[in-house]
Structure 1
Amino acid sequence: MLFALICKDKPGHLQVRLDTRPDHVNFLNGLNADKKLAFGGPFLDADGKPNGSLVVIEAADLAAAEAVAAADPYAKAGLFESVDIKPWNWVFNKPAEA
């Protein structure tokens, strides 16, 4: 099942994002078969600076998706003002399954 993690950064925390980014990227790239990254990237403000994230993961259930969100180095660093986790259905332009 797919879940969209919609994360909003706390105002004034850009440096936290920049400092934590390498660990965040390694974490997402390290997700395994039972918790898998589908795609993700930052939301941008009017100046083109990141101010949140959209991460879509494959997980068994909501509890597993919540565990991924809580373990993300960005979350552990206190970057996010809010994290909304929603079940999501990929309908359009879905890559062919291998």
Structure 2
Amino acid sequence: MYFAIVSMDRPGATEVRADTRPAHREYLKSPPHGVTYRLGGPLLAPDGATAIGTLLVIDAPDLETAQKFSANDPYNKANLFAEVSVRPWDWGTGNPDKG
């Protein structure tokens, strides 16, 4: 099942994001968390350059696993986010698994 994780940064947390980015990216590649990272990237401010959040799409067996994955993300552990939403997502258009 697919899940969309939308996380918005705390104001003034630009340095936290930069400092934690390598650990976050490594975490996305680590298999022990029981999910498959499908796609994602930073959400941007209207200037098109400043990161203000993160969007991830993962494949996980259930909501609890997806929530645990989100909670253990180094960004989340570093208190980067003001809010996080983990929601089941029906990946229709563009889904490589649906050919």
- TM-score, length basis structure 2: 0.92
2-structure distance, mates of 1:81, 1:31:
27
Question: SS where residue 60 of structure 1 aligns?
Answer: coil
- Whether the aligned pair in 1 keeps the contact of 2:27 and 2:73 (CA below 8 Å) is yes
8 Å contact from structure 2 (residues 33, 69) kept in 1: no
Q: Which has the higher helix share?
A: 2
Kindly report structure 1 stretches of 4+ aligned residues shifted beyond 2 Å: 31-34
Q: Distance in 2 between matches of 1:68 and 1:96?
A: 22
Give the aligned residue type for 1:28: L
Unaligned segments of structure 2, at least 5 residues = none
Equivalent position of 2:9 in the other structure = 9
Give the structure-1-normalised TM-score: 0.93
The Cα of 1:93 is off from its aligned counterpart by 1.2
**Structure 1 residue 32: deviation in Å?**
5.2
What is the identity, as a one-letter code, of the residue corresponding to 1:55? L
Alignment-derived partner of residue 55 in structure 2: 54
- My pick for the range that moved more, 23-32 or 1-10, is 23-32
Q: Percent identity?
A: 41
